[in-house]
Amino acid sequence: MGDFAQSPQPIVLEDRVRVFFTTRFSSEDGTAWRSQPMFVDFSLEMDKRLSEPIQVELPKAKLGCFDEDGIFPFSPVLFDGIIYAFTTGWSRRQSVSVETGIGIATSADLGKRFTRLGDGPVLSSSIDEPFLVCDGFVRRVGEEWVMWYCFGTGWKFDADESQWERTYKITQTRSENILDWSPAGGQEVVDSVGGEMEAQALPSVTQLPSGEFWMSFCYRDTFNFRTEANAGYKLGFASSFDGQSWERSDEKLDFARTGFDSRMQCYPNIFSVDDTIHLLYNGNEFGRHGFGLASWRH
């Protein structure tokens, strides 16, 4: 299966919850990791695993495309029997480590086989968002589609690690047809408690019966996040009554840690099944040890 089970992303079906995630394989030359999607099924109560992990069939990217070095994360949304997967594609660079963009693929068999809708991204760098564009999470809200995603604010040099590190923030945009998206223009929608050096990642959103929106995400410092627990990823939370103005309150996701997430909590996804809200998330070492589950009723 490879290593890691990163960024768990659920689809709620009639009789099960299908959780997509990405695992890492070593590249052919052994110099880098390639991320590929898989899924595993759970009961609707999320208390029983119903399958072993299954490799998703997705055609390999063509040479030189935005996702030639892998996909992470792999974010699905189900609509009229079709799964639309929004993929963050990675490609290696020389001056900095990576370039990313958001692509799209579809599946008519509930996620076993996907077809790319073209070889390029549906959203990428732009005049106001010239660095990374990644982590697209899409949901149908009313008569339109909304995408929450992250845009890079720049690369900063870490003298201790002798490398350039990326910082990014959460924003959102809308579409009428799920294919055509306009950049949000570098507008942050979630306050940064750590200022400009706070990197925010992996937004996910669920809407409660009351109409209120809940967002989960993770955040870290720009530097030393791989080696220092206080600089590593933590869980963040924000809520909104109109889906546009967000109030941050991270204490909502402050729950007891176990061994697998004692030093890091990252890559969360918040979703509802009936009257229960679930949170899937990764722990230490960016998901090397699988993903965990937290639940509460509303």
Q: What is the pLDDT of residues 101-156, one digit of tens each?
A: 999 999 999 999 999 999 999 999 999 999 999 999 999 999 999 999 999 999 99
List of domains in the chain: 3-297 (2.115.10.20)
| pLDDT at 33 > cutoff 80 | no
Task: Write the pLDDT tens digit of every residue in 227-243.
Answer: 898 999 999 999 999 99
pLDDT of the residue at 75? 98
pLDDT of the residue at 255? 87
Residue 32: pLDDT band (50, 70, 90) is low
Lowest-confidence range among 35-39, 129-133, 247-251? 35-39
**What HEC string does the chain produce?**
CCEEEEEEEEEECCCCEEEEEEEEEECCCCCCEEEEEEEEEECCCCCCECCCCEECECCCCCCCCCCCCCEEEEEEEEECCEEEEEEEEEEECCCCCEEEEEEEEEECCCCCECEECCCCCCECCCCCCCCCEEEEEEEEECCEEEEEEEEEEEEEEECCCCEEEEEEEEEEEEECCCCCCCCCCCCCCCCCCCHHHEEEEEEEEEECCCCCEEEEEEEEECCCCCCCHHHCCEEEEEEECCCCCCEECHHHHCCCCCHHHCCCCEEEEEEEECCEEEEEEECHHHHCCCEEEEEEEC
pLDDT of the residue at 27? 58
Residue 210: pLDDT band (50, 70, 90) is very high
Task: Write the pLDDT tens digit of every residue in 80-112.
Answer: 999 999 999 999 999 999 999 999 999 999 999
The residue to which tokens 């791989």 are assigned: 226
| pLDDT at 208 > cutoff 90 | yes
| pLDDT at 24 > cutoff 90 | no
Query: What burial class does residue 280 get, using C-beta atoms within 10 Å of its C-beta: 0-12 exposed, 13-18 middle, 19+ buried?
Result: buried
| pLDDT at 30 > cutoff 70 | no
Sheet with 115-116, side-by-side order of all strands: 71-79, 82-92, 98-107, 115-116
Rounded mean pLDDT, 253-262: 89
In this prediction, what percent of the chain has a pLDDT beyond 90?
Answer: 87
Query: What burial class does residue 105 get, using C-beta atoms within 10 Å of its C-beta: 0-12 exposed, 13-18 middle, 19+ buried?
Result: buried
Rounded mean pLDDT, 250-265: 91
Residue 297: pLDDT band (50, 70, 90) is low
Average pLDDT over the chain, rounded to an integer = 94
pLDDT of the residue at 284? 94
pLDDT of the residue at 161? 82
pLDDT of the residue at 204? 98
Closest-CA residue to 21 (of 44, 45, 38, 2): 38
Residue 26: pLDDT band (50, 70, 90) is low
Residue 36: pLDDT band (50, 70, 90) is confident
Rounded mean pLDDT, 13-40: 81
